[in-house]
Structure 1
Amino acid sequence: MNRIFTYMIVGAMILGVAVGWACNQYLSPDQAKAAADGFSIITDVFLRLIKMIIAPLVFSTLVAGIAHMEDAATIGRVGVKTMGWFISASVVSLTIGLIMVHLLQPGVGLALPAPNAAAATVDVSTFTLRDFITHLVPKSIVEAMANNEILQIVVFSVFVGTAVSAIDDKAPAVLALVEQIAQIMLKVTGYVMRTAPFAIFAALAATIATQGIEVLFTYVKFVGGFYLSLGILWGLLVAAVVLIVGPRALKLMGAIRQPALLAFSTASSEAAYPRTLEELQKFGLSRKVASFVLPLGYSFNLDGSMMYCTFATLFIAQAYGIDMSIGQQITMLALLMVTSKGMAGVPRASLVVIAATLAYFDLPEAGLLLILAVDHLLDMGRSATNVVGNSVAAAVVAKWENQIDTPQDEQAAPLKA
């Protein structure tokens, strides 16, 4: 199924480029614009579908996740160390994405017209700490969900999840209902994402019809810049694990090569989970630590996905010539730190997170279509990065807990086999 979907994505990209180029070359500017408007019907529907699932998806996944956090608390020391590493890695990932997109500026020069006047005149200088703090708390959760106010939904979800977790029997009926809603929304999200090839075709065709084939060079810069950023993150992760675990950690990178390649080829880090767990145990990590850190990592340690959210959001702002203040960029990092934690296992989760972030900062939501065309290609890289990041986290926590076999044990095991 993944292979068929990949072929559909690639086919949609090729067909979209070809149709867009033909419209740009053989139609008058007015006719090309009319054709782009026709294609935009498909992309508008896709954007509305994305917006439709944001509120219930964030609420249900966050409440369910927080309600189960007591399981991690019972493990005590290991849970604290694991979460400490996850938070640190998240900050590093988001910050690298922020710095690299400013250095490379892949979106600068596109000068796309804002879809509406409001988006074109966003006044980021009016941001104040008071406005931000008071805006965190919803006056009505119904209003917050209706307007897709992501931070307000997160705040309400944290309160509900914490309350459920604090009840002795964990309100089983409520928790079961929330988990069922989460499962339903995950299924709905899967249905929505199946329409992605049509949206990709329409987005590319509309963009190239009006902007010309030259816009593809922007995509090359965007994709190349993101993979360069991932390379820097990989280097830091490897350096960190070698520093903490020792030179032996280099063998870990070789051990997880196949799971990382599987995640890259399928664009799904979840697909590589069983093999990753197996390889970590072969490397010498205790099953107790590996079985705890890896599942938690798939919910709280999506290094590649978080970097992508920062990189892509600011790329869109650059493409529309919108400057974001330092305060707003710091707020964006904090927002992504939280929202990315509730999106584990969601197909194309980054698109949902980015859509919510664009709406929160009044950035043109149509900018999502810019990255949609190459999202699958980038998803491959961030999925592999998620596998590497979670494997490094498991090794680091195991080292801190003295739960890694000695080199002698590691060398003796193959001889017995």
Structure 2
Amino acid sequence: MLSLDIEEMNKEEIKKHKWYQILYVQVLIAITIGILLGYFYPSVGESMKPLGDAFIKLVKMIISPVIFLTVITGIASMSNMKAVGRVAGKAMIYFLTFSTLALVIGLVVANVAQPGSGLNIDPATLQSEKVHEYVQKSHDATLTGFLMDIIPTTLFSPLTGGNILQTLFIAVLFGVSLASIGDKAAPLVSFFQELSAPIFKIVAILMKAAPIGAFGAMAFTIGKYGIGSIGNLLFLILTFYITSLLFVLIVLGAVARYNGFSILKLMRYIKEELLLVLGTSSSEAALPTLMDKMHKAGCEKSVVGLVIPTGYSFNLDGTNIYMTLAALFIAQACNIDLTLQQQILLLLVAMLSSKGAAGVTGAGFITLAATLSVVPTVPVEAMALILGIDRFMSECRALTNLVGNACASVVVARWENSLDRDKLNRALNGNTVVGNN
């Protein structure tokens, strides 16, 4: 009876919002206007870049406090500290399995579709200063350096530095310490729980600016690069988008079905976040609201706090598909035949380099540079071939990564018996109003 009352209340709340007041509708309209402005008035569209940049900065400003409070309150409420390690371990097994599978799928599709065949490019004609910048960053982004970078300079620097894994590291330590001292920590835990409410209210306020950010970012992209610039490389873009879509629908769809939920319903549930990522080309723009939504969908706060921020660095399905697909595209375009051993080497290096450059701006392109550098027969300079269209593929990378992390949080929560199935079913069936505060 209570569930029926809740459902009726939610339906009434939905009716209060007119169609143009719904966030995802506003973002969709903003993206459309941005595309039109960038197409018909390129210079004006290009000048809209600060709007997109400002919105992403606003969101990044609040990411560290959201992760810090979510993880601390989640872990502090766990009576068994072994559960923290167990959740992290299961999450990493999940990440490693599906990230590797994504790399393999990209490799297979590239060999079957042959998107680069017939271009007959001479690598000597390809020179780009921008590519050299990415190559330099790839040399700097070693796995050891990445692991060392997880340790912050001070206890509080992650809250101001914006490094997701550093924030997660300190939050886990703080949460474990609070849980270990028991009742003495109760006032502090209560304070953090109370503080979470205004922090998430700030997130809701910032999200009202999402349409402006999406408009600015999309107008800039179309204005600067132009829709026409993707013409001769359209087959690669289509291959990548179709491969990513099939990965989500078939691979993640099978995982979701096995764990008792629908991947399509999950995507519908996080449609605001997906549109926000599409508009801004940044998955970070949707991180705070994604964490909130997955918690409201029945995933325990401690699981969400550990899985999603970690997944943003280690569970990059879209980026991994892109890396092997793009690497083979470049080889095919330059008429370079890679042996099976060389392709396997590319795969193994990509598994490591995708972790080494995690959290770095332009990580997809940086990891590609690091991966190509181990196969001397494929010139790194040939990355200039896809530099112009990388922006058009970054949206797909981010969208696939976002769905992968949302799926991971539900799966790991189920493995841990930390999933409220009633809440999940209500959320995925559209009976829970979230994100339109």
| Residues 1:313 and 2:327 are matched in the alignment | yes
| Residues 1:391 and 2:420 are matched in the alignment | no
Separation (CA, whole Å) in 1 of partners of 2:412 and 2:341: 33
1:411/1:322 CA distance change after superposition, 3 Å:
closer
Separation (CA, whole Å) in 1 of partners of 2:368 and 2:223: 20
1:284–1:404 contact (8 Å) kept in structure 2: yes
What's the offset of the Cα at 1:106? 0.6
2:123–2:382 contact (8 Å) kept in structure 1: no
Q: Pick from 72, 88, 94: which aligns with 1:79? A: 88
Query: What residue is the counterpart of 2:300 in the other structure?
Result: 286
What's the offset of the Cα at 1:341? 1.6
Separation (CA, whole Å) in 1 of partners of 2:116 and 2:416: 45
2:145–2:356 contact (8 Å) kept in structure 1: no
1:354/1:198 CA distance change after superposition, 3 Å:
farther
1:81-133 per-position Cα deviation (integer Å, ceiling 9, x unaligned): 0000000011111011001111110100001113189xxxxxxxxxxxxxxxx
Q: Pick from 356, 366, 388: which aligns with 2:370? A: 356
Spell out the pairing of 1:223-234 with structure 2 (5 A cutoff). Answer: 223-234=237-248
1:203-247 per-position Cα deviation (integer Å, ceiling 9, x unaligned): x6xxxxxxxxxx93x41211111111111210210211221x214
Query: What residue is the counterpart of 1:368 in the other structure?
Result: 383
Amino acid at match of 1:338: L
Spell out the pairing of 1:244-255 with structure 2 (5 A cutoff). Answer: 245-247=259-261, 251-255=265-269
What's the offset of the Cα at 1:344? 3.1
What's the offset of the Cα at 1:343? 2.8
TM-score, length basis structure 2:
0.58
Q: Pick from 99, 103, 110: which aligns with 1:101? A: 110
Separation (CA, whole Å) in 2 of partners of 1:181 and 1:288: 21
1:267-291 per-position Cα deviation (integer Å, ceiling 9, x unaligned): 1111111121122122111111111
1:345-388 per-position Cα deviation (integer Å, ceiling 9, x unaligned): 33321111112222332222332221112111111111111110
Separation (CA, whole Å) in 1 of partners of 2:247 and 2:103: 10
1:250/1:404 CA distance change after superposition, 3 Å:
farther
Q: Pick from 371, 379, 395: which aligns with 2:394? A: 379
1:333/1:248 CA distance change after superposition, 3 Å:
closer
Separation (CA, whole Å) in 2 of partners of 1:149 and 1:377: 21
Unaligned runs of 5+ in 1: 16-70, 118-146, 184-194, 205-214
Query: What residue is the counterpart of 1:154 in the other structure?
Result: 142
1:248/1:333 CA distance change after superposition, 3 Å:
closer
Secondary structure of 2:124's partner? coil
Q: Pick from 288, 296, 299: which aligns with 2:310? A: 296
What's the offset of the Cα at 1:414? 6.0
Separation (CA, whole Å) in 2 of partners of 1:370 and 1:273: 31
Separation (CA, whole Å) in 1 of partners of 2:424 and 2:157: 44
1:95/1:394 CA distance change after superposition, 3 Å:
same
1:182/1:355 CA distance change after superposition, 3 Å:
farther
TM-score, length basis structure 1:
0.60
Query: What residue is the counterpart of 1:338 in the other structure?
Result: 352
| Residues 1:114 and 2:123 are matched in the alignment | yes
1:240/1:359 CA distance change after superposition, 3 Å:
same
Separation (CA, whole Å) in 1 of partners of 2:426 and 2:141: 51
Query: What residue is the counterpart of 1:56 in the other structure?
Result: none
What's the offset of the Cα at 1:259? 1.1
Query: What residue is the counterpart of 2:290 in the other structure?
Result: 276
Secondary structure of 1:76's partner? helix
Unaligned runs of 5+ in 2: 1-29, 44-74, 76-80, 127-134, 165-219
2:117–2:332 contact (8 Å) kept in structure 1: yes
Separation (CA, whole Å) in 2 of partners of 1:416 and 1:392: 20
Aligned residues: 300
Identical aligned residues as a percent = 32
| Residues 1:222 and 2:263 are matched in the alignment | no
2:115–2:329 contact (8 Å) kept in structure 1: yes
2:146–2:357 contact (8 Å) kept in structure 1: no
Secondary structure of 1:115's partner? helix
1:150–1:360 contact (8 Å) kept in structure 2: no
Separation (CA, whole Å) in 2 of partners of 1:395 and 1:159: 27
Secondary structure of 1:95's partner? helix
1:200–1:369 contact (8 Å) kept in structure 2: no
Query: What residue is the counterpart of 2:420 in the other structure?
Result: 405
Separation (CA, whole Å) in 1 of partners of 2:251 and 2:112: 18
Separation (CA, whole Å) in 1 of partners of 2:111 and 2:242: 13
2:138–2:357 contact (8 Å) kept in structure 1: no
